Amino acid sequence: MELWRLTVHEAHELLKRREISATELTKAVLERISQVDGKVQAFLTVTDELALKMAEDADRRFASGEGITPLTGIPIAIKDNMCTKGVRTTCASKILHNFVPPYDATVVAKLKEAGAVFIGKTNMDEFAMGSSTEFSGFFPTHNPWDLSRVPGGSSGGSAAAVAAGECLAALGSDTGGSIRQPAAFCGVVGLKPTYGRVSRYGLVAFASSLDQIGPMTRDVTDCALLLNAIAGHDPMDSTSIPQPVPDYTQALVADVKGMRIGLPREYFGDGIDLQVAAIVQQAAERLAQAGAELVEVSLPTTEYALAAYYIIAPAEASSNLARYDGVQYGYRAPVADDIVAMYCRTRKEGFGHEVKHRIMLGTYTLSAGYYEAYYLRAARVRTLIRRDFERAFERCDVLLTPTSPVPPFRLGERTDDPLLMKMSDICTIPANMAGLPAISVPCGFLDGLPVGVQFIGKVLDEMTLLRVAFTYEQLSGYRNLLAPIG
Ligand code: GLN
């Protein structure tokens, strides 16, 4: 048996019955990485020694029968913007190329406690700014379904690693779609939880009012298991929600009878590839056949969401990224006459083009005289977006849309067209602006490339999302889709 093909819950059953060991499983995954990662390039760092040590610890837990959780001994990859104590955390930026955090992000600490095995840190767009992983400061990641195409972004390394069997599951982060869009492009499941459901402590900040960490997995069951492990209030993150965490596996019920599923008309029209829209529409019809009620709704402010996002996110980024000055972290320009020259050179040499572009945009829109015209207006649009959703949710329990307006595009195809690149996120950004949970699950293929359907839920209603996603997964049979590579 090729152990890397197992989902988290399948592997757990075998580990529990002691039919396989965590060490065997980890070795199989490391072997798989050495076979395929030369082509996929999903990892910035493979932590093989640490993984084997953690696997031994997990095996000790199984031997003693103590401290066993559904994630014990499971090889998991972590996006390289989450701090891992003693393990390089670069955000795929030259400016952090040598940064080794002295502490663990809360999600990382929680996975450690659960006994998970850390297999490595995954590639991403620099500081999570991008939609294709081509803006990594080091190298692009390739889509394992077609190596000439992008895996999506910014969590492209995590998505590609899950789809290529280079880990059993991964963590990603999502500010405007960075978990869901790459999940859709790579044929995996990706969940962005409600803003505040998962702690952001130790997640390197991009746009703090939008950032959220979530699971990327090969099926919906695994997604619920990971969410169980990482969700919850954290005193170290003042925006984390002080609410108890339900057992998300309780949502894994294949039944949508009477559930009202809203189809927002703006997500099936302009700017959406017709073939993608048709496949996603079929997914809705499948759920209707299973007893759900389809309701047409409207989210009219959607058309302004992208523009408002590109005011708010860069504004927050320009402030968050001010800390990279060559003094406290990472890269420092070697030659400079004085301290100001040192700051300037460090930032000039350390940041990539896209990051500089965002810092300039953000600094401009926050500057005196422009703040009201741009930032304040964008904040108002954000309120309107939230109200749109509230109104829609009076008529339905969950919304169904495409995850990405287009199938995975070719490497290089959009790098010179910033607007086209940013259009990749038109379906995902509104949920971030409103702080709502949303999940992408595979729903078909176009010319051999995966297409994803997105479900958007009410605040803290991850349960309904997981239930509809699980039901759809049972109906469609699209689960544990491994890319044909290797
Ligand atoms: N693609 C969007 C951006 O470039 C979203 C990125 C993300 O969610 N981190 O900002």
User: Which residue out of 21, 27, 79, 131 is catalytically annotated?
Assistant: 79
User: Which residue out of 131, 132, 154, 424 is catalytically annotated?
Assistant: 154
* pLDDT, tens digit, 9 for 90 and up, residues 146-162: 999 999 999 999 999 99
User: How confident is the model at residue 57, as a pLDDT?
Assistant: 98
Tell me, letter by letter, the H, E, C secondary structure of the chain: CCHHHCCHHHHHHHHHCCCCCHHHHHHHHHHHHHHHHHHHCCEEEECHHHHHHHHHHHHHHHHHCCCCCCCCCCEEEEECCECECCECCCCCCHHHCCCCCCCCCHHHHHHHHHCCEEEEEECCCHHHCCCCCCCCCCCCCCECCECCECCCCCCHHHHHHHHCCCCCEEEEEECCCCCHHHHHHHCCEEEECCCCCECCCCECCCCCCCCEEEEEECCHHHHHHHHHHHECCCCCCCCCCCCCCCCHHHHCCCCCCCCEEEEEHHHHCCCCCHHHHHHHHHHHHHHHHCCCEEEEECCCCHHHHHHHHHHHHHHHHHHHHHHCCCCCCCCCCCCCCCHHHHHHHHHHHHCCHHHHHHHHHHHHHHCCCCCHHHHHHHHHHHHHHHHHHHHHCCCCCEEEEECCCCCCCECCCCCCCHHHHHHCCCCCHHHHHHCCCEEEEEEEEECCEEEEEEEECCCCCHHHHHHHHHHHHHHHCCCCCCCCCC
pLDDT exceeding 90 applies to what percent of the chain? 94
Nearest ligand 1 atom, CA 421:
1
Task: State in Å: Cα 234 to ligand 1 middle.
Answer: 24
Task: State in Å: Cα 217 to ligand 1 middle.
Answer: 20
Task: State in Å: Cα 403 to ligand 1 middle.
Answer: 14
* pLDDT, tens digit, 9 for 90 and up, residues 155-181: 999 999 999 999 999 999 999 999 999
Q: How confident is the model at residue 270 (pLDDT cuts 50, 70, 90)?
A: confident
Task: State in Å: Cα 434 to ligand 1 middle.
Answer: 15
Average pLDDT over residues 196-216: 98
Q: How confident is the model at residue 383 (pLDDT cuts 50, 70, 90)?
A: very high
Nearest ligand 1 atom, CA 128:
9
| CB of 181 sitting under 6 A from ligand 1 | no
* pLDDT, tens digit, 9 for 90 and up, residues 33-92: 999 999 999 999 999 999 999 999 999 999 999 999 999 999 999 999 999 999 999 999
109: its two tokens: 């600490």
Q: What angle do CA 291, 293, 294 make, to 5 degrees?
A: 130
User: How confident is the model at residue 418, as a pLDDT?
Assistant: 87
79 given a catalytic annotation: yes
In the predicted model, is pLDDT for residue 486 greater than 80?
no
| CB of 313 sitting under 6 A from ligand 1 | yes
In the predicted model, is pLDDT for residue 371 greater than 90?
no
10 neighbors 219 (Cβ within 8 angstroms): no
Task: State in Å: Cα 437 to ligand 1 middle.
Answer: 16
User: How confident is the model at residue 388, as a pLDDT?
Assistant: 97
Nearest ligand 1 atom, CA 210:
8
User: How confident is the model at residue 43, as a pLDDT?
Assistant: 98
| CB of 36 sitting under 6 A from ligand 1 | no
In the predicted model, is pLDDT for residue 231 greater than 90?
yes
| CB of 132 sitting under 6 A from ligand 1 | no
pLDDT exceeding 70 applies to what percent of the chain? 100
* pLDDT, tens digit, 9 for 90 and up, residues 412-441: 999 988 888 888 899 999 999 999 999 999
Residue nearest (by alpha carbon) to ligand 1 atom 10: 129
Task: State in Å: Cα 458 to ligand 1 middle.
Answer: 22
User: How confident is the model at residue 279, as a pLDDT?
Assistant: 98
* pLDDT, tens digit, 9 for 90 and up, residues 88-107: 999 999 999 999 999 999 99
- Mean pLDDT over the full length of the chain: 97
199 given a catalytic annotation: no
Nearest ligand 1 atom, CA 422:
1
Provide the β-strand partners of residue 127: none
User: Which residue out of 178, 199, 318, 440 is catalytically annotated?
Assistant: 178
User: How confident is the model at residue 238, as a pLDDT?
Assistant: 96
CA distances (Å), 371 to each of 78, 163, 252, 282, 361, in order?
36, 43, 46, 44, 12
In the predicted model, is pLDDT for residue 368 greater than 90?
no
| CB of 106 sitting under 6 A from ligand 1 | no
- Domains of the chain by range and CATH? 3-256+443-450 (3.90.1300.10)
154 given a catalytic annotation: yes
In the predicted model, is pLDDT for residue 197 greater than 90?
yes
* pLDDT, tens digit, 9 for 90 and up, residues 271-303: 999 999 999 999 999 999 999 999 999 999 989
In the predicted model, is pLDDT for residue 328 greater than 90?
no
Strands 212-217 and 189-192: antiparallel
Provide the β-strand partners of residue 374: none
Residue to substitute in 154, 173, 321 for testing ligand 1 pocket (most ligand atoms within 8 angstroms of CB): 154
Task: State in Å: Cα 153 to ligand 1 middle.
Answer: 7
**Burial class of residue 445 in the structure, from the number of CB atoms within 10 Å of its CB (0-12 exposed, 13-18 middle, 19+ buried):** middle
